[in-house]
């Protein structure tokens, strides 16, 4: 069974997380002066794209057998988003580095969820 309608939001969210993570990494190592409001909006945009992608996958998995592994990695993304929210104030020292690595981790989990789409059918 083909799951193209589930792959498109995943690829969009993957590209957004990768691009914004790379921008934050460049800001950190390039020592650029960037408005914290702008970077907060970029981070919120990328995290909301991940959340929207996970909700789309969970909604469409009710009627289709997408596979237990892909659904597992999407649920792990929800847990990661929860922990990022809990520990957001802990990493003020290396703000850009922390968020870039967090977005790269979410990007890796989305890649893994796409790779396992349709595997491990119940």
31-80 pLDDT per residue, tens:
888 999 999 999 999 999 999 988 888 887 776 666 677 788 888 999 99
Confidence at 96, pLDDT banded by 50, 70, 90: very high
Residue 31 falls in which region: left (phi positive, over 0), alpha (psi -120 to 50) or beta: left
Q: Output the pLDDT for position 27.
A: 94
Q: What is the pTM of this model?
A: 0.87
CB 103 within 8 A of CB 97: no
Q: How far apart are CA 90 and CA 61, in angstroms?
A: 35
Structural contact between residues 67 and 116, judged by C-beta atoms closer than 8 angstroms: yes
Torsion 29-35-40-42 (CA) sign:
negative
């Amino acid at each position: 069974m083909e799951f193209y309608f589930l792959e498109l939001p995943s690829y969009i969210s993957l590209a957004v997380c990768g691009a914004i993570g790379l921008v934050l990494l460049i800001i950190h190592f390039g020592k650029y002066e960037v408005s914290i409001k702008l970077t907060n909006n970029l981070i919120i945009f990328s995290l909301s794209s991940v959340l929207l992608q996970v909700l789309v996958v969970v909604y469409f998995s009710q009627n289709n057998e997408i596979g237990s592994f892909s659904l597992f990695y999407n649920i792990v993304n929800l847990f990661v988003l929860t922990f990022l929210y809990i520990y957001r104030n802990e990493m003020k020292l290396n703000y850009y580095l922390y968020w870039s690595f967090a977005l790269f981790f979410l990007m890796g989990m989305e890649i893994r969820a796409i790779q396992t789409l349709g595997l491990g059918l119940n």
